[in-house]
Amino acid sequence: MQRTDFGEEFKWGVSTAAYQIEGAHDTDGKGPSIWDHFTSIKGKIADNHHARHSGDFYNNYPGDIELLNTLSIPNFRFSISWPRVMPGGVHFNRKGLDFYHRVIDACLEKNIEPWITLYHWDLPLALHRQGGWENRDIVSWFAEYVYLCAREFGHKVKYWMVLNEPMVFTGAGYFLGIHAPGNKGLNKFLKAVHHATLAQARGGTILKKELPQAMVGSTFSCSYLTPYSSSERDARAVVRADALLNRLFIEPSLGLGYPIKDLPFLERIEKYFHANDEKRMYVDFDFIGIQNYTREVIKHSWLTPLIHAKIIPPAKRKVPGTVMNWEVYPESIYQMIKKFSAYPGVKRIYVTENGAAFPDHVHGGKINDLERISFLKNYLAQVLRAKNEACPVEGYFVWTFTDNFEWAEGYHPRFGLVHVNFDTQERIIKNSGYWYQAFLQGKENLKFHPEPFLTSN
């Protein structure tokens, strides 16, 4: 028995990322990444956590894939660690490649479809030291990496994503400096944005040429934005924030260029253009992945440079939030599916990440995470709403499968359907994991439940 209300071809799965789950940071020839270095700097990560061991998926993958099978999860999104397969960013590492062959083969043996993300933020440190995303040469470096992965895994893997959330890794890593590599400054950010845009298109084009039977896309972070007040100034602030947070990477990939008209400071990016870059930014993706968790309420602010807009956090608005201080607002995912569906060049949409972090309390070997179940029910109801309105949404992936290293927040936020004890590596399926299993098996009816948001606080 399986779900049919979303359609028999709808793709159900979970998403993960190499750096967040694999551990084995220097095993079998893996080279250091920018995150290995960044987490070694005191004060960069909450409680100075690091991911050198994390959930040790590198050694625990057979059991984890068996858990996927147990929970009836038919699609598994994971990323390739660039420095594991190309430690110095140039020559390949056979032991690293063989690891991903083992993971892919283990999935296929269980009739689980592997979905590969090529870049989920773990740039080889050796390439960072040559300029990283600020160096235009990264487009060529990335192309060689894409060719390698296509040659190695293309005969086994049908679904490919080029970049994960380029707005986040460029904004947090090259403007705000709160993520690896910790760079700050407008010019650093603009160079990284343009080169990531070019790499996204180059990588997608290579995959489509090398693997004509594959489905090729890229993933984009997005938040539903609403104004703080009914003032015209707040409305204009929303337009500027939308151009930065939701439109910056999707529009050039569709041949629309950067949204400079609505965010004038982006005009400065043109000094990094070479001849014909407008054409080089375009790629004919088969799908896009959208990754939505929340909405943001935007207020005009002269004190915020460049964008003149600021986010009013949930606590100040006295609305329910998660451990990440993200508002629980299910309609956000409906609004973002509708927004991206409106682009003529978008053929199909997969929700490649959606989920929530809440405190886990282990009682008698069980974790009854009612908040996460409530979250998933209400967000999925909004996905179904969009699908019933003829939006081309064709899949949904929970973030995430197992608890993991959550970047600058360390191990404090727990997003997983499966609890991980990072000291013992014990796995405990949470009640949300069992709920997702029953849901996928068609044993849980999905209706919109305006249930009160449950809080552990």
**Sequence-ordered list of residues with C-beta below 8 angstroms from that of 48, at least 6 positions apart, any chain:** 42, 410
Exposed e or buried b per residue across 126-138, where buried means at least 16 C-beta atoms within 10 angstroms of its C-beta: bbbeeebbbbeeb
Is-contact 262 186, C-beta < 8 A? no
221 contacts 291 by C-beta, under 8 angstroms: yes
For 19, 50, 90, 418, the CA distances from 403, given in Å and listed in that order, are 13, 14, 32, 6
82 dihedral zone (left: phi>0; alpha: psi -120 to 50; beta): alpha
- The DSSP line for 162-195 is EEE-HHHHHHHHHTS-SSTT----HHHHHHHHHH
Structure tokens belonging to residue 456: 């552990």
Residue 272, SS3? helix
Count CB atoms within 10 A of the CB of residue 19: 26
Tell me the Cα Rg of the chain. Answer: 21
Whole-Å CA distances, 136 to 90, 119, 195: 16, 17, 6
**Burial profile 143-156: b = 16 or more Cβ within 10 angstroms, e = fewer:** bebbebbbebbbee
Told to judge if 165 belongs to the known catalytic residues of this protein, a careful annotator would answer yes
| Catalytic residue check, 353 | yes
Among residues 152, 296, 353, 371, the one annotated as catalytic is 353
Q: Could you say which of 165, 251, 371, 406 is catalytic?
A: 165
User: Could you list the active site residues?
Assistant: 165, 353
